[in-house]
C-alpha cells in the first residue's frame, strides 16, 4: 500500500510524538520535525492541525500552555502505519529524540518572555511549568532590552538553579 506524502508526514509526526513520550506544543512539534527536515514547516503545521481535527492528537492544556498528546485513535493509527516510515528515518527520529529529549523538555517546562512597559522599562516573565500547574512564576522589571533579552535567553539554563535557591532560602 502506497501512502501519499501528507499522510506519511502525519504518521511521522505521530511517531515523533510517541517517541518523545511527553506532551508537546504545536510550536515544539513543528520545530522538531521541520528543523530535522523530517517534514517541511508548512506541511507540518497543516498536518498537526489535521491530526487535531481528526482527534489523533488531543489538547491536554492547563495553565495557558497548549500541550498535545497522542489520543487512543492516534496510537491505533500509528500501530497500523508506523512501518510505512522508512526504517532509517525511524532510527534517525529515535536517535535525535534520545539525544535531545531533555533539551526539548526544558524548552517547554521553562517558559520565558518579555515586553516593554509604558515607562520604557521591560518586564521579563519567567515560569517553570509542570503538566498540571505552574511550579513557579517570576516577573522581573529591568531597565534595558539588553537585560531583558539576556534573562530571557538564560532562563532555560538557569531555571533549576534559581528555583532551588529560592526554594531553599524560603524554607530555611
pLDDT above 90 as % of the chain: 66
Is the pLDDT confidence value at 63 over 90? Answer: no
Given a cut of 80, is residue 133 above it in pLDDT?
Answer: no
Residue pair 34/40 in contact by the 8 Å Cβ criterion: yes
Domain ranges of the chain: 5-108, 109-170
Task: Specify the pLDDT at position 130.
Answer: 76
47 in Cβ contact with 6 (< 8 Å): yes
Q: Rounded to the nearest 5°, which phi and psi values hold at 111? A: -90, 140
CA distances from 117 to 37, 127, 132, 150 (A): 38, 19, 30, 17
User: In terms of pLDDT, which residue wins out, 103 or 70?
Assistant: 70
Whole-prediction pTM value?
A: 0.73
pLDDT of 1 higher than 70: no
The CATH number of the domain covering residues in 5-108: 1.10.10.10
- At residue 3, the pLDDT reads 58
Amino acid at each position: 500500500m502506497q501512502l501519499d506524502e501528507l499522510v506519511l508526514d502525519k504518521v511521522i509526526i505521530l511517531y515523533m510524538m510517541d517517541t518523545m513520550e511527553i506532551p508537546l506544543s504545536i510550536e515544539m512539534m513543528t520545530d522538531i520535525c521541520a528543523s530535522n527536515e523530517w517534514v517541511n514547516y508548512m506541511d507540518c503545521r497543516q498536518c498537526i492541525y489535521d491530526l487535531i481535527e481528526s482527534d489523533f492528537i488531543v489538547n491536554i492544556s492547563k495553565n495557558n500552555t497548549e500541550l498535545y498528546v497522542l489520543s487512543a485513535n492516534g496510537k491505533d493509527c500509528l500501530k497500523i502505519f508506523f512501518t510505512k516510515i522508512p526504517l532509517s528515518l525511524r532510527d534517525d527520529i529515535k536517535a535525535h529524540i534520545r539525544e535531545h529529549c531533555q533539551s526539548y523538555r526544558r524548552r517547554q517546562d521553562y517558559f520565558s518572555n518579555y515586553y516593554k512597559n509604558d515607562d520604557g522599562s521591560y518586564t521579563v516573565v519567567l515560569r517553570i511549568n509542570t503538566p498540571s500547574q505552574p511550579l513557579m512564576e517570576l516577573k522581573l522589571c529591568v531597565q534595558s532590552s539588553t537585560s531583558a533579552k539576556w534573562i530571557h535567553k538564560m532562563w532555560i539554563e538557569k531555571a533549576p538553579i534559581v528555583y532551588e535557591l529560592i526554594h531553599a532560602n524560603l524554607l530555611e
